[in-house]
Amino acid sequence: MMNELIVKTKPKSAISEDIRTIRTNLEFSLSDEDKKIIMVTSSAPGEGKSFISSNLAVAFAQNDKKVLLIDCDLRLGRIHKIFEVSNKRGLSNLIVKYDEDIDYENYVQKTDIKNLVILSRGAVPPNPSELLSSKKFEKIIKDFKKIFDYIILDSVPVNGLPDALVLSKIADKTIIVSKYGSTDINSLEDAKKALENVNASISGVVINKVPKARSKYGNYYYGE
């Protein structure tokens, strides 16, 4: 399987530089110490949001920040595949089993990257949106905010499912990932409007998979 953690394996590549630029822009926009939650989403599947969220998490960790990457795509999330860890217990299991004395160590997993831990999606539940909008999940996030410098939420796409809109209400900043030559502009605009309708703070749009012939960079970032 191809290693998607480009920031780790090819730190001097143009794509890695782009990811670090996004990280820097987010650090400036999250200067308030209580603001630390970043949601990464897209308008449709296959845009590369998990690639971006994973590499962004690595970039923050490499900057000596304690980072938690949460796979909030409780249906098809693949963060555990990218990091090659178990998905036996993850976010869905944690929410269902949550109580005030729960041991988070049984659910989060260390990676081979210093300062970075992940929470995989876990078992596929029958009610993903209800779990993400629950008081239990809200309490879990509050607990994690006391531990980590940054929390990155890898969300489902916006269009067609309510999950991303639910998550955007707890996120301090939201990034929308689109794929060069693939993303439908109307779909992207619909996603942007849907997020704006719930008062999401949209930090910018990442254009993924830009051909080298069109730019020396693999990704563009458009901020506020």
pLDDT tens for each residue of 69-121? 999 999 999 999 999 999 999 999 999 999 888 999 999 999 999 999 999 99
Please give the model's pTM, rounded to 2 decimal places: 0.92
Distance CA 30, CA 206 (A): 18
Q: Which domain holds residue 110?
A: 35-223
Domains: count for the chain: 1
Please answer whether residues 90 and 116 qualify as being in contact, where contact means their C-beta atoms are separated by less than 8 angstroms: no
Strand partners, 221: 206
Please answer whether residues 214 and 195 qualify as being in contact, where contact means their C-beta atoms are separated by less than 8 angstroms: no
Domain assignment of residue 199, yes or no: yes
Question: In CATH, what number is assigned to the domain containing residue 39?
Answer: 3.40.50.300
Domain assignment of residue 218, yes or no: yes
Residue/partner pairs of 10-14 with CB below 8 Å, 24 or more apart:
13/218, 14/216, 14/217, 14/218
First to last CA, the chain: 36
User: Which contiguous run of DSSP H or E holds residue 220?
Assistant: strand 220-223
Q: What is the pLDDT of residue 34?
A: 81
